[in-house]
A and B are shown apart, each in its own frame.
Chain A
């Protein structure tokens, strides 16, 4: 067996049952030491230990779920680290603390993409947990966005439209008269305009019985409006 100490860190403390009414906290697993490849996760895939552990094969090769019966579970595990405790038989990414899912280590991401169809493998096929699969899909999308991973580009025919930009929506429109001379109101009806004499006479005839005798034709000058 060639497992090095970064895989399958064995829990030395005995299994402690949770005591629900106790004031003491249940002892959780000691927090794992951070990986030495935290800043540059792609270096691990070139290193000797990776080569010795995995050789030429992908990281998920040979991983099997443990289950009862002949048919393996048809849905992936939700997470390998639940409330601070690691499950038995963690998934290929969670079991190796140096394998970090990052958009920059393209070699790791490539192992989870089908070389023929360009599609991400289903987590049942590779055996990784749902949490890591979600992080992996996000990292793959980010890497494709940054141009580090290959991406199938659909053929989009060139649009056949008029590129002259003469229409008023995108071309120049002459500025409105009010803008040319500031000080003038924007619309002429913002300020009071004298209505035509025929209209004034018609209104006076209509409301003859209600208008005061000395009702003026022009209103008094506007104050502050």
Chain B
């Protein structure tokens, strides 16, 4: 459903200027190059994981009252061995009152970024991830950039990552800008978010308007897999519907914007009729 638009995936990046390369290829070489490009695009379109929020760490390892009053600042001890994964790295904090506790998730992320810096990630996250600033970025239609920066900056199970993603999806759904994420790796996440909250109508209308009937049917099948107890799922299973009938059943039972979807379906069928007639 994500769609594989090569022109959008391999859109030119703004880097240093180089004169354009022209290559002379035979048909076979061109096919080979296209095939390689499609494979590379598929690696770029791998969907990032959708996880629940991580539980906060608040374990106390030791309480040494004898150290109370000796220091005025917290000490953070990080295990810097090179070959352990970051999630198995022990990071502990000794507070001035003598308590030795495990570092919280935010402290962990900061320390790991200081000692093992990752490309595209900053120690203090950029201000544009705050709720007030996200609005300005959405007005410039830069949802994909925001999501890419979010993946670079935060861990997939951190509350900030989840909050930014939910805000982005809600803004897209409010303005109907589904096409911005099509052919990117964020499309799957958006579909999952909308379907789990039963807000599939806008997306369905958009797909029918763009004549993507197969995508629409896969959307409805996914909806039925997510919510097997709903009425349209039961009907579809009994009657084993396919294609446009599936959509019609869904529209009759589950959707909130029946009128719009009916109109869109009608327009699509008329367009199909005229194109097949001519």
Question: Which residues in A have some Cβ–Cβ distance to B below 8 Å?
Answer: 116-119, 145-148, 150-159, 161-163, 165, 167-170, 172-173, 175-176, 178-179, 186
In the complex, which residues 77-130 of chain B have their Cβ closer than 8 Å to any Cβ of chain A?
Answer: 85-91, 102, 105, 108, 118-120, 126-128
Q: Are A146 and B17 in touch, CB under 8 angstroms? A: no
In chain B, positions 129-182 with a C-beta closer than 8 Å to chain A are: 133-134, 136-137, 140, 142, 145-146, 148-149, 151-152, 155-157
Distance in Å: Cβ of B54 to nearest Cβ of chain A: 6
How far is it, in angstroms, between the C-alpha of A40 and the C-alpha of B46 when the chains are bound? 44
- Given A145-B128, A163-B157, A158–B151 Cβ distance below 8 Å? yes
What are the residues of chain B within 8 A of A179 when measuring CB–CB?
A: 60, 63
- Residue of B at shortest CB range from A187? B62
B-side contacts of A155, CB under 8 Å: 44, 148
Q: Is the CB–CB distance between B14 and A116 below 8 Å?
A: yes
Q: Is the CB of A158 within 8 A of B133?
A: no
Interface residues of B in 20-65 (CB under 8 A from A): 43-44, 46, 48-49, 51, 54-55, 57, 59-64
Q: How far is the CB of B228 from chain A (nearest CB, A)?
A: 26
Chain A CB within 8 A of B229 CB: no
Measured between C-beta atoms, what is the minimum distance from A105 to chain B in Å?
14
CB distance from A144 to the nearest CB of B (A): 8
A136 to chain B, nearest CB (A): 19
Verify A156–B120 contact, CB threshold 8 A: yes
Contact present for B62 and A147 (CB under 8 Å): no
B108 to A: closest C-beta gap in Å:
7
Determine which of A148, A156, A161, A178 lies in contact with B151 in the assembled complex, contact meaning CB atoms within 8 Å: A156
Residue of B nearest to A154 (CB): B120
Cβ of B19 under 8 Å from chain A: no
Residue of B nearest to A149 (CB): B140
Minimal beta-carbon separation of A195 from chain B (angstroms)? 24
CB-CB under 8 A from B17, the residues of chain A are 116-117
- Beyond A117-B14, A167-B88, A186-B62, whether A156 also contacts B127 by CB under 8 A is no
Residue B242, interface by CB 8 Å: no
* Among A159, A165, A172, A178, contact of B59 (Cβ-Cβ < 8 Å): A172
How far, in angstroms, from A172 to B43 measured CA to CA in the complex?
A: 35
A162 to B137, CA, bound (A): 32
Determine how close the nearest CB of chain A comes to the CB of B50; give it in whole angstroms. 11
Taking A153-B149, A154-B119 as contacts, is the C-beta distance between A148 and B57 under 8 angstroms?
A: no
From residue A163, how far is it (CB to closest CB) to chain B in Å?
6
Q: Which chain B positions have C-beta within 8 A of A176?
A: 61-62
A residues less than 8 Å from B44 (CB atoms): 155
Q: How far is the CA of A169 from the CA of B105 in the complex (A)?
A: 11
- State whether the Cβ of B238 lies closer than 8 Å to any Cβ in chain A: no
B15 at interface by CB-CB < 8 Å:
yes
Bound complex: CA of A198 vs CA of B119, how far in Å?
Answer: 62
Q: Does A158 contact B48, Cβ atoms closer than 8 Å? A: yes
Which residues of chain A have C-beta atoms less than 8 A from B146's C-beta? 147
Q: A167-B87, A173-B59 are known contacts. Are A156 and B133 too (CB-CB below 8 A)?
A: no
Which A residues lie within 8 Å of B69 (CB)? none
Given A162-B87, A165-B54, A153 and B62 contact (CB-CB distance below 8 Å): no
Asked whether, in the complex, the Cβ of B142 is within 8 Å of the Cβ of A186, the reply is no
